[in-house]
Homo-oligomer: A and B are copies of this chain.
Amino acid sequence: MPLIVDREKRRRKVAAIATKMIVRQGPDAVTVRGVAAAAGYSTKVISHYFKSKDELLCFVFRETALEAARRVRRLQRSEDVQHCLELLLPLDAQTRQDWRMWIAFWGRAAFNETFALEQHASAAMAQGLIRDLLDSSRRRGLLAPEFDVDLHSRRLLAAVIGIAIQAVLDPKAWPSARQRTLLRAEIIATLPRS
C-alpha cells in the first residue's frame, strides 16, 4: 500500500512540475529531461511514471479538466446556471492558466490522435456537467418538460468555449464584465423568459 501511495504521489509531483513549465512557456517547453532536473529525479525515474512526454502532457490535461469539473460539481447544489458556468470562464488566475493550457493542448489535438481522444473525453465531461445543471432546472419545473436539454447544453458549452478562448487570448478586449454579460445573454436566450 505505501508503495502505491508513493507512486501516485510521485506522479502528481512530476505532473505539478510539468504544469508549472507549461503555464510559463507552453507545452513545447516541457522536456522529460527538464522535468527530471526540476523534480530532482533521474530521467529514468520519470519514464517509470510516464512512458513519454505525450503521456505526461495528457495526464496534466486530464487532471486540470477533472479539477475544473470538480469545482463546478461542488457548486452545483446552488443550482444557479450563470454562477456555475462562470466557474468555467477565465475570470481568475487559475482558470486563465487552465484555458491557456487547454488551448495549447487543442492545438496539438488538431494533429495528434492521442490528444484528440483526451479532448473528446473532456468535452463529453463538460457537456455532461451542463446537461446535469439543465436537467436539475427542468426537474424543479423551471424548464418545460419538452425543453431540449441536449441541444441547449451543447449550445451553452459552445458559448463558454467561444467566450473563454477569445478572453484568454485577448484579455484587454475581454474584461470580466464582458465575459459575464455575454454568458448572461446566452443563458437568457437559452432559458424561457420567466
Contacts and interface: CB of A to CB of B under 8 A. Distances in A.
B151 A161 contact: no
Interface string A89-104: 0000000000111011
Given A111-B26, A120-B170, A170-B119, A151 B181 contact: yes
Contacts of A40: none
Nearest to A108: B107
A152 B120 CA distance: 28
A106 B103 contact: yes
A85 to B, nearest CB: 13
Interface residues of A, number: 44
Q: Oligomeric state, in number of copies?
A: 2
A111 B100 contact: yes
A173 interface: yes
Nearest to A178: B154
A170 B157 CA distance: 15
Interface of A: 25-26, 28, 99-101, 103-112, 116, 119-120, 123, 151-152, 154-155, 157-163, 165-166, 168-170, 173, 178, 181-182, 185-186, 189-190
